């Protein structure tokens, strides 16, 4: 079975759109979409949200990714906490079903027919949703309050469930619950509570369900989540992570794995150039060679065999200096993965 190449989500804005302008357009677009209004008829939203999203998605898809995450241009926390704050004004952390909407998906779904006709291929979509523990840490802290944790889990589940698209032109193949802080900063709760929270979060069907982490330190706990399909972690920037999960652990839990094979830790990459006296590296220099990426993939495949279902960049690319640099990384990752098939 071939390993599918996907990406982890965040992506740089195009140079002609400022962060302030996009963020303003994002908030207005979300309100319009949940109110049933057409954002394409609003010139500000058309230029600063709609066209930005679909242009970025199209560029990412053209790199050859098997499964393409919507371009997450907005802050991964605010994307969900903005809506949670509205619920908090009503005395709850539970977001209403109709408000649990990811605006970017509205755009991709609207353009799915055109995307399909351009390639004669159905759009294979990946959706990242910031996880309940990550959001809880951001909004509440490390002390566990079970009733609030369960509300966060249900809210995230609603966002995930509403993101599952399936038509002639588009299919949500993967939903990833992103928990980057897990293993570094944890909520003070036991394993059973953790499993209960995540099983509630993953209570949706018809897609492959991933959990994306930066550390596999509590893998043995997470592998007990029954309705989780794929365990995902960084490997390129943190090579020792691969020691935290064995093939036998995956087989025992009947799970698959996604291993990151290209570095995305742009601050560390830039620091390494500075140490070498290169203060303004070219975009091509920021990305590792296909050979380096391919070697990592081969090590991971040797370890996990047919349990390795997905690969791609370690994490998102939102902090990268330009779309060009991010696209080079995606292209090299895809090329490295495809050239190693059958080896």
pLDDT tens per residue across span 197-208:
999 999 999 999
Residue 342 scores a pLDDT above 60:
no
Q: Above pLDDT 90, what percent of the chain?
A: 96
What integer is the mean pLDDT of 11-33? 98
What integer is the mean pLDDT of 303-313? 98
Residue 2 scores a pLDDT above 90:
no
What integer is the mean pLDDT of 202-222? 94
Residue 1 scores a pLDDT above 70:
no
What integer is the mean pLDDT of 242-266? 97
Of the given ranges (111-115, 215-219, 229-233, 280-284), which has the lowest mean pLDDT?
Answer: 215-219
Categorise residue 125: left if φ over 0, alpha if ψ from -120 to 50, beta otherwise: beta
Residue 41: the pLDDT is 95
Residue 66: the pLDDT is 98
pLDDT tens per residue across span 257-305:
999 999 999 999 999 999 999 999 999 999 999 999 999 999 999 999 9
Residue 8: the pLDDT is 93
What integer is the mean pLDDT of 110-123? 97
**Residue 223 CB neighbour total at 10 angstroms:** 19
What integer is the mean pLDDT of 304-329? 98
**Residue 260 CB neighbour total at 10 angstroms:** 26
Question: What φ, ψ does residue 120 adopt, rounded to 5°?
Answer: 60, 30
What integer is the mean pLDDT of 145-155? 97
Domains and CATH numbers, the chain: 4-16+58-339 (3.20.20.210)
pLDDT grade for 149, boundaries at 50, 70 and 90: very high
Contact between 242 and 300 (Cβ < 8 Å): yes
Q: How many whole angstroms separate alpha carbon 150 and alpha carbon 153? A: 5
Q: Residue 198's closest CA among 152, 259, 237, 247?
A: 152
Contact between 244 and 270 (Cβ < 8 Å): no
pLDDT tens per residue across span 65-106:
999 999 999 999 999 999 999 999 999 999 999 999 999 999
What integer is the mean pLDDT of 107-124? 97
Contact between 177 and 153 (Cβ < 8 Å): no
Strands across the sheet containing 170-178: 4-5, 308-313, 256-262, 230-233, 208-213, 170-178, 123-130, 68-69
């Amino acid at each position: 079975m071939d390993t599918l190449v996907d990406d982890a989500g965040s992506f740089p804005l195009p140079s002609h759109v400022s962060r302030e302008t996009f963020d303003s357009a994002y908030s207005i677009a979300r309100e319009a979409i949940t109110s049933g209004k057409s954002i394409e008829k609003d010139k500000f939203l058309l230029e600063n949200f709609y066209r930005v999203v679909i242009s970025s998605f199209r560029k990412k898809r053209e790199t050859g990714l098997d499964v393409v995450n919507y371009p997450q241009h907005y802050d991964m926390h605010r994307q969900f906490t903005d809506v949670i704050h509205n619920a908090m004004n009503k005395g709850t952390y539970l977001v209403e079903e109709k408000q649990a909407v990811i605006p970017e998906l509205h755009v991709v779904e609207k353009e799915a027919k055109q995307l399909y006709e351009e390639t004669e291929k159905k759009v294979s979509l990946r959706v990242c949703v910031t996880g309940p523990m990550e959001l809880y840490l951001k909004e509440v802290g490390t002390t566990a309050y079970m009733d609030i944790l369960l509300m966060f889990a249900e809210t995230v589940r609603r966002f995930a469930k509403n993101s599952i698209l399936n038509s002639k032109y588009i299919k949500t193949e993967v939903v990833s619950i992103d928990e980057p802080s897990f293993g570094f900063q944890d909520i003070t709760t036991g394993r059973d509570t953790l499993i209960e929270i995540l099983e509630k979060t993953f209570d949706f069907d018809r897609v492959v369900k991933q959990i994306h982490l930066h550390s596999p330190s509590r893998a043995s706990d997470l592998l007990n989540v029954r309705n989780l399909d794929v365990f995902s972690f960084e490997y390129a920037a943190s090579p020792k992570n691969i020691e935290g999960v064995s093939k036998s652990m995956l087989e025992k839990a009947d799970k698959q794995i996604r291993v990151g094979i290209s570095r995305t830790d742009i601050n560390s990459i830039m620091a390494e150039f500075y140490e070498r006296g290169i203060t303004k590296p070219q975009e091509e220099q920021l990305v590792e060679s296909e050979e380096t990426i391919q070697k990592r993939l081969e090590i991971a495949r040797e370890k996990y065999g047919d349990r390795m279902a997905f690969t791609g960049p370690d994490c998102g690319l939102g902090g990268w200096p330009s779309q060009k640099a991010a696209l080079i990384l995606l292209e090299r990752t895809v090329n490295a993965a495809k050239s190693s098939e059958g080896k």
